[in-house]
Structure 1
Amino acid sequence: MGCDTFRVLRSGCASLVLVLLFCLCFPSSAYDPLDPNGNITIRWDIMSWTPDGYVATVTIFNFQKYRHIQAPGWSLGWTWAKKEVIWSIMGGETTEQGDCSKFKGNIPHCCKKNPTVVDLLPGTPYNQQIANCCKGGVITSLLQDPANAASAFQVSVGASGTSNKTVKLPKNFTLYTPGPGYTCSPAQIVQPTRFFSSDRRRVTQALMTWNVTCTYSQFLAQKTPTCCVSLSSFYNDTVVPCPTCSCGCQTNSSGCVEPNSPHLASVVSGQNGANPLIQCTNHMCPVRIHWHVKLNYQLYWRVKVTITNFNYASNYSQWNLVVQHPNFDNLTQLFSFNYQSLTPYASTNDTAMLWGVKFYNDFLMEAGPLGNVQSELLFQKDSSFTLEKGWAFPRRVYFNGDNCVMPPPDAYPSLPNASPRGASPRSYLVLVLLAAVILQYRQP
C-alpha cells in the first residue's frame, strides 16, 4: 500500500469519525425515547366520486403523547401528481388561489400545483364547518386532551381521475406547526377507513384511503434550545441558575428586552408575535423551569415547581411539562397541576407528564408579573431516597415536547458536610433547641 493510498484511507476514516460525532451530538432523527411511537398521521379518505374527481376528508391525527400544535396553528402542503385543482374546501382554506385564468365561469378555489391549507378560526359560520375543524390550527396532545387531538377539512378535487386506478397520490407533504420540525413520509395506500353511524348500527366505508406519517425532530425545529432548568433546595442557600447562554447569548444583535426598559410597553405592543421577543437574561431562554426541594418530612418529601415565561411575544395555552425522576412511582399528591404517567407499565415508573388545571392555570401568560405557573408535588419516601449527590433533582425535563438544558451535575446544591443522610428539618430544630438549653445551663 503506497503512502498516497494510506493518506486517502486515513482521511476517509477521519471524515467518517467526524460524521458519526456530528450525528451523535446533533441528532436529526425523530426518535424520542420517551414517546417512541409518537407521530402525526394525515389520513386522506375519498368519500365520493364527482364527474371530474372526488370529494375527500383530510384528517390530521396527533398520536404524540405530550407534543402538541399551538397557535398560530398548523399548515399542510403537498404537490399534486397531475394537474389537479381544488374546486371547493370546507373547514379550511388555501393560502393562495394560484393561476386559474384558463377557467371561465366556475372558478376553482385553488389552482396551485403545490397548495397549502390552513385551518379556519373558531366562530366560522356553521355552513363552512365539518367535524374537528375550525380550531385555529391548534391540536392538543394525545394524553392531555384526546378529544381535541385531531383536526380535519374537506376538499372537492377536480382533474384527478374518477376511480381507484386513475387517481394519483399527492407528493411532497409538508407540515408546519407553525415552523419546521416535522418530516413527512410519502403517501401510502391503506385499507379504506370504516365509519360508524352515531348509533353504531350502520357502517360505511371510504372509497380509497392513503396515510402520511410525520415525525418530529427538535434539531430541525430550531437550532437552539427553547427552555432551561434551575435548581434550589431547603438545605443549601445556593440557587443553581440555568447555564449561561443555554438558549443563546446576550449580544448587540440578540434583540432581547430589558424588563425595566421605559420603552418596554411600546416594544411589546409593536411586535406581531411572529418572532421571539425575549427578556434579557443570562440564559436567554423563552421558558425556565425551576425545581425547588422544599421540605423533608419523616415519610415524605416535597418539591415546588415553577414555570416562568420570558417571551414577550408568546403565551402558552395547553402547555405541558415532562419530568424524569426515579421517585415518580411514589407521587402522593400534587396541587394545581394534572398528572399522567408516561411509563405506567414499565418496571420503573419514572417519567411524568404535568399540565395545568383547565380554566385555572392551563394558560401561561407572556413575560411579566403573570408570566408564571407553579405547583407543589408530595412524594412518599422509599428505600432509594437520599438528598445526596443530587438524587432529589430531575434527570431530564421537557417543556411542550422540547428537551430543556439542565445544569451540570457537579453544580447541583449539595448537602452541608455535617448533615446526616436524609435529615429532616425537625432534626435540625431539635439540635438547635438542645444547644440553646446547654448554653442556658452554662451561664453563671
Structure 2
Amino acid sequence: MRFADLAFCLALLSYAAAYDPLDPNGNITIKWDIMSWTADGYVAAVTLNNFQMYRHIMSPGWTLGWTWAKKEVIWSIVGAQATEQGDCSKFKGNIPHCCKRSPAVVDLLPGVPYNQQFTNCCKGGVVAAWGQDPAAAVSAFQVSVGLAGTSNKTVKLPKNFTLQGPGPGYTCGRAKVVPSTTFLTPDRRRKTQALMTWNVTCTYSQFLARKNPNCCVSFSSFYNQTITPCPSCACGCQKKNNCVKSDSKIVQMKGINTPRKDNSPLLQCTHHMCPIRVHWHVKVNYKDYWRVKIAITNFNYRINYTLWSLVVQHPNLNNVTQVFSFDYKPLVPYESTNDTGMFYGMKYYNDLLMEAGPFGNLQSELLLQKDKNTFTFKQGWAFPRKVYFNGDECMLPPPDTYPFLPSSAHRHRFAVSSLIISLLLLISIG
C-alpha cells in the first residue's frame, strides 16, 4: 500500500471514530477574531464554543495549543495564561508573556482581579455542554500577538491546533478564514465587525481518548431476582493490582481524594474495574405506565464529576411522563426518531457526583407511558440500547444475560405478586 493510500485510510478511520450518531454535528469551534492592529501585530479575541450536546469539559479544564506560522510572540493575555514563557532572552526591557513557537494556553481560575478578566473567561477551563447549558458552553480570552502581520494580507494563520479537555481525545482541523464576526456595541445600537476571523473545528473520539470504556451498565427488574452485572474487566483490568477495597484503612487517609497531575485514577476494587457504573432497574409495571430507577455510582476516589451528564437511548423515551431528581432533555439526532434523552443534575443540588465512598452515588426515577404497539418486557426490550456517561459510551452486558420473564409455570404467581407490589406503590405515592 502506498503512503498516500495509507494516510487516506487513517484519515477515514479517524473521522469515523470521531463521528457520534447521537450528536452528529457536535464539535468545539475555536474562533479567532482580530479586533485591532498594533505596531508589530494584532490584538485578538479567542473563543471556544462547545457545540456538543452532552459532552462538556470538566475540571481541571481545557488546554489550547498551536504552532506559530512565523516567529510570533505573545506580548500579553487577558483571561488566560501560557503554561510556559519559553526563551525570551533576545528581548530587552519589555519582555513578552510567551516566546514559545508552540505555546499552550489555559484558562484562569475564578476570582482573579478584574483587570485580568475577559468576557467568558476565568472558569478554570470548565465548559458546559451546549445541550445542558448553552450560556456556559463558551470560554474566551484576549491575546496580543507581536512579530506578526499587521494587515489581512501579511498575517499568517497559526497551524497544528491541539485541544485537551482535560485529557486527550480531540482532533483539530486546519484554521480557515471565514467571514468576519459581527458584534453589537454595549448599547446594542451599532454593529461592528472583526478585522479578520478564522475558525478551527475540533472533534472528539472516544477511540483516541482511551482504549477501554470509562463506564459500564448493569440491569435488574422486579420480575426476576437475577441481577445482570457489568461485564468483568469492562473497563480493562490494568489497575487491578492497585485498586482499593471499600473497607480498607487507606480510604480514611488524608489526601486520598486529591487528584494527581496525570489524572491517574484510584479505583475501588470491583470485578468490572470501571470508574462509573450505571444501574438500570425496571421497578414497577402499571396499567398504562411503567417506572424505572437509575443509579449512577462513582468508584474513583480521586475525581468529583462536575456537570455530569447521562445519555440513554431507548424506544420508549419518546413517552417520558416525569423524571424525578434529575433534569431531562430529549435529544433528536434525526427527525424521524425521538428515542434518546439526556439526564443531568439539578444546579446546586446534585450536579456534582462525589468521589467513591458513601456519597459517591446519585439516583433518580422516571415514569414512562406505555406505547401499546411496541411495549413489552420480553427479549430485553425494557433495557436501554446505548448509555453514555459524560459523552463516553458505556459497556452494556451481553443481551443473553438480561433479566428474563418467568416461565409460564410461574406466570400466575408472578402476576399476583406484581399486582400486590404495584398496589402498595400506588398507595405510597398517593
Q: Residues 428 and 169 from structure 1, CA distance in 2 versus in 1: closer, same or farther, beyond 3 angstroms? A: closer
Matching of residues 422-441 of structure 1 within 5 Å: 428-429=418-419
TM-score (norm 2): 0.91
Determine if the alignment matches structure 1 residue 127 to structure 2 residue 121: no
Kept in 1, the 8 Å contact 2:311–2:341? The answer is yes
User: Matched residues in 1 for 2:420 and 2:296: separation?
Assistant: 35
Kept in 2, the 8 Å contact 1:75–1:178? The answer is yes
Kept in 1, the 8 Å contact 2:217–2:278? The answer is yes
Q: State the match for 1:288 in structure 2.
A: 277
**Matched position secondary structure for 1:263:** helix
Q: State the match for 2:426 in structure 1.
A: none
User: Matched residues in 1 for 2:178 and 2:13: separation?
Assistant: 37
Matching of residues 100-179 of structure 1 within 5 Å: 100-179=88-167
Matching of residues 317-336 of structure 1 within 5 Å: 317-336=306-325
Q: State the match for 1:239 in structure 2.
A: 227
Mean Cα deviation higher: 325-334 or 415-424? 415-424
Q: Residues 57 and 420 from structure 1, CA distance in 2 versus in 1: closer, same or farther, beyond 3 angstroms? A: farther
Q: Residues 134 and 424 from structure 1, CA distance in 2 versus in 1: closer, same or farther, beyond 3 angstroms? A: farther
> How far is the alpha carbon of 1:201 from its aligned partner?
1.4
Q: Residues 60 and 430 from structure 1, CA distance in 2 versus in 1: closer, same or farther, beyond 3 angstroms? A: closer
Matching of residues 49-68 of structure 1 within 5 Å: 49-68=37-56
User: Matched residues in 1 for 2:154 and 2:264: separation?
Assistant: 44
CA-to-partner distance for each residue in 1:77-124, whole Å, 9 max, x for gaps?
000000101111100000000111011001111111000000000001
> How far is the alpha carbon of 1:25 from its aligned partner?
11
Matching of residues 386-405 of structure 1 within 5 Å: 386-405=376-395
CA-to-partner distance for each residue in 1:304-335, whole Å, 9 max, x for gaps?
00000000010101000000000011110110
1:407 aligned residue (397, 400, 422): 397
Determine if the alignment matches structure 1 residue 263 to structure 2 residue 250: yes
> How far is the alpha carbon of 1:154 from its aligned partner?
0.4
> How far is the alpha carbon of 1:161 from its aligned partner?
1.3
Determine if the alignment matches structure 1 residue 224 to structure 2 residue 239: no
Mean Cα deviation higher: 188-197 or 271-280? 271-280
Q: State the match for 2:353 in structure 1.
A: 364
CA-to-partner distance for each residue in 1:174-224, whole Å, 9 max, x for gaps?
001111100000100000000012443100000000000000000101111
Mean Cα deviation higher: 259-268 or 202-211? 259-268
Determine if the alignment matches structure 1 residue 80 to structure 2 residue 71: no
**Matched position secondary structure for 1:327:** helix
Percent identity of paired positions between Structure 1 and Structure 2: 67
User: Matched residues in 2 for 1:341 and 1:83: separation?
Assistant: 48
Determine if the alignment matches structure 1 residue 94 to structure 2 residue 67: no
User: Matched residues in 2 for 1:26 and 1:244: separation?
Assistant: 28
Q: State the match for 1:276 in structure 2.
A: 265
User: Matched residues in 2 for 1:427 and 1:255: separation?
Assistant: 45
Structure 2 unmatched ranges of 5 or more:
2-6, 422-430
**Matched position secondary structure for 1:288:** strand
Aligned length: 412
Determine if the alignment matches structure 1 residue 300 to structure 2 residue 289: yes
User: Matched residues in 2 for 1:218 and 1:173: separation?
Assistant: 19
Kept in 2, the 8 Å contact 1:27–1:219? The answer is no
User: Matched residues in 1 for 2:412 and 2:207: separation?
Assistant: 39
TM-score (norm 1): 0.88
User: Matched residues in 2 for 1:420 and 1:391: separation?
Assistant: 21
Letter aligned with residue 382 of structure 1 = D
CA-to-partner distance for each residue in 1:273-298, whole Å, 9 max, x for gaps?
32111111000000000000000011
> How far is the alpha carbon of 1:382 from its aligned partner?
1.4
RMSD: 2.5
CA-to-partner distance for each residue in 1:400-443, whole Å, 9 max, x for gaps?
00000000000000000127999986675579xxxxxxxxxxxx
Kept in 1, the 8 Å contact 2:259–2:303? The answer is no
